[in-house]
Structure 1
Amino acid sequence: MNTSRRDFLKKGAVALAGSALLPGAGRLLATAKIKAITGVQLYSVRDDMKRDPAGTLQQIAGMGYKYVEHANYVNRKFYGWAPKAFKQRLDDLGLLMPSGHTVMAKRHWDAAKKDFTDEWKYTVEDAATVGQQYVISPWLDEELRKTYDGFMAYMDVFNKSGELCKKSGMKFGYHNHDFEFSVKLNGRQLFDLMLENTDPSLVAQQLDIGNMYHAGGIALDIVKKYPGRFELMHVKDEIKSTKGEMGGDYESTVLGKGVIPVKEVIDLGKKSGGTTHFIIEQESYQGKTPLECVKEDLHMMQQWGY
């Protein structure tokens, strides 16, 4: 339970992908006229998914969730299932998976060939097979954010990943942590540089409204600054803590129990932020079980009209 999201991504989020691209179910989901959906990031119940993925998914569906987002794609498998088998498992439970997290690392881009490696191509192919609409990278290697020129060059890779995903009827996306709001290059905040140098038609932003708080980011201000840029949100609340998830002073909690004006943020996202995918994520639980927490989170979202 103490594994932080950051450590999890550094140690275990390995993106494995391939060269053949298929126009999978993601194309159908992408063209569906979805006004707003509420889902859950399965990292919220990561230990349960590790122990009993089939049973955990069944409990998630039983709570009333219709959408999930993965955080486990290893050796071309989702939580141990091959793409088609995992999609069938979701179908049997009435679940859809419009988005998923797989880190796009430096090794996935061959600068000499100016092309993605087979690893990343397989990631995109398999995402299409399970019906994703968005292929989201939830991390940026530290080496890629050390220099202005290096970072800017990788923003071009972001756009190229968007072009690759588009061939399979999907869109590339990025999910922030806290460093995007604390690190500066040439006097500019990393997050600003990212939004200014990625094509919004190719690269979606999944705004984690809790992560940024660890670096002083205010979600309401960000949504107002960049209207229409946040197709997805990680819906999260934060409380004071002595063991913050990112080495800071805060950890996530049940929605409505913390310091973030969550309803105000998601309402603004829906109204002017361009947000259609609201994905609940909770990483700390204050003595409750993860499954109890995500059930409470869903009830709160329903009370708010989502």
Structure 2
Amino acid sequence: MAKIALQLYTVREQMEQDFEGTLRKVAELGYQGVEFAGFYGRTKEQVKALLEENGLTAVGAHTSLDLLLNHLDEQIEINQFIGNNKLIVPYVAEEDRGRWEEIIADIQRIAEACAAKGITLMYHNHDFELTQKLNGETVLDTIFETVPASLLEVELDSCWVEFAGFDAVAYIEKYKGRMPLLHLKDVKKKEDGSPETVELGAGQLDIKRIADAAIEAGVEWLIVEQDYTANGAINCITTSMDWVKNYVSQGGKLNV
């Protein structure tokens, strides 16, 4: 049965101010796992102890392409020590999006090096991988068709798939069996058409349909993320957890 985690980028300001207290609060709210986006100067020993103290599982770590390319051994060592076996490419900078062939070749090399040490590499999307094309198809599909499933797994950000004008459920079906992690987030369009990420249930997406499809497809962890939190990060993750608990009370097959 799938479990619920939090992408800690959502509470990045709180993590910067009080790393230990923020992890405790996340656990108190009912999140069973966390996905890291940096360790804020803590040692691997400190991080592991905090995870154990709070009963949290490290489900993945968003790790910049620069770190993956230039400090991979160090990142693997840290993550294996804290019990995480998934490194995730989180973002490709705008200035690099004109050289996708190079980026994909880098991803393949990183994935091979990770696999040799028992680590799984994953790729996390935004909307631009779906709105940009490479050789006649979306960049996202080109990435996953070029790098084999044995080396690269899918972390689908369902919000950005939908915002780009695609059906997240169709993508969940397409990559079924290759997608252990899924970002569950909600969004609404501002008057100017730009996105505003909001608490689960407060936006324009059919989050229940996406969660149902992800669980049916065998996704192991649904990961709550909110890029920007207008109502305060802790309030936002509390509201999103309330949505999760209500979803479970109505028959959603999440282990919370």
| Contact 1:214/1:249 (<8 A) preserved | no
Count the aligned residue pairs.
249
- Cα 1:136–1:241 change in 2 (3 A) is same
Residues 111-168 of structure 1: CA distance to partner in whole angstroms, max 9, x if unpaired?
A: xxxxxx4x12211221111111210110124455424xxx345434323322322333
2:83 corresponds to which of 113, 128, 131? 131
The structural deviation recorded for 1:43 is 0.9
| Contact 1:68/1:98 (<8 A) preserved | yes
Map of 1:190 onto structure 2 = 139
The structural deviation recorded for 1:108 is 5.2
Does residue 282 (structure 1) correspond to residue 248 (structure 2)? The answer is no
SS in 2 for 1:210: helix
Map of 2:54 onto structure 1 = 93
Q: What CA distance in whole angstroms lies between the structure 2 residues aligned with 1:42 and 1:218?
A: 26
Does residue 234 (structure 1) correspond to residue 202 (structure 2)? The answer is no
- Cα 1:221–1:129 change in 2 (3 A) is same
Which ranges in structure 2 are unaligned for 5 or more consecutive residues? Answer: 249-253
Q: What CA distance in whole angstroms lies between the structure 2 residues aligned with 1:69 and 1:100?
A: 5
Map of 1:250 onto structure 2 = 195
SS in 1 for 2:65: coil
SS in 1 for 2:16: helix
Q: What CA distance in whole angstroms lies between the structure 2 residues aligned with 1:108 and 1:135?
A: 9
Map of 2:25 onto structure 1 = 59
The structural deviation recorded for 1:250 is 1.9
Opposite residue 139 of structure 1, the aligned amino acid is Y
Q: What CA distance in whole angstroms lies between the structure 1 residues aligned with 2:236 and 2:2?
A: 22
Which ranges in structure 1 are unaligned for 5 or more consecutive residues? Answer: 1-34, 73-77, 110-116
Opposite residue 134 of structure 1, the aligned amino acid is K
Map of 1:297 onto structure 2 = 240
Map of 2:251 onto structure 1 = none
Map of 1:259 onto structure 2 = 204
Opposite residue 61 of structure 1, the aligned amino acid is A
Opposite residue 303 of structure 1, the aligned amino acid is N
1:223 corresponds to which of 172, 187, 192? 172
1:103 corresponds to which of 45, 59, 64? 64
Map of 1:14 onto structure 2 = none
SS in 1 for 2:88: strand
Q: CA RMSD in A?
A: 2.1
Q: What CA distance in whole angstroms lies between the structure 2 residues aligned with 1:166 and 1:108?
A: 13
Map of 1:25 onto structure 2 = none
Q: What CA distance in whole angstroms lies between the structure 2 residues aligned with 1:255 and 1:249?
A: 18
- Cα 1:51–1:219 change in 2 (3 A) is same
Map of 2:43 onto structure 1 = 82
Q: What CA distance in whole angstroms lies between the structure 2 residues aligned with 1:239 and 1:155?
A: 31
Does residue 120 (structure 1) correspond to residue 65 (structure 2)? The answer is no
Q: What CA distance in whole angstroms lies between the structure 1 residues aligned with 2:195 and 2:94?
A: 22
The structural deviation recorded for 1:89 is 1.6
| Contact 1:98/1:132 (<8 A) preserved | yes
Percent of aligned positions that are identical: 31
- Cα 1:98–1:152 change in 2 (3 A) is same
Q: What CA distance in whole angstroms lies between the structure 2 residues aligned with 1:141 and 1:289?
A: 27
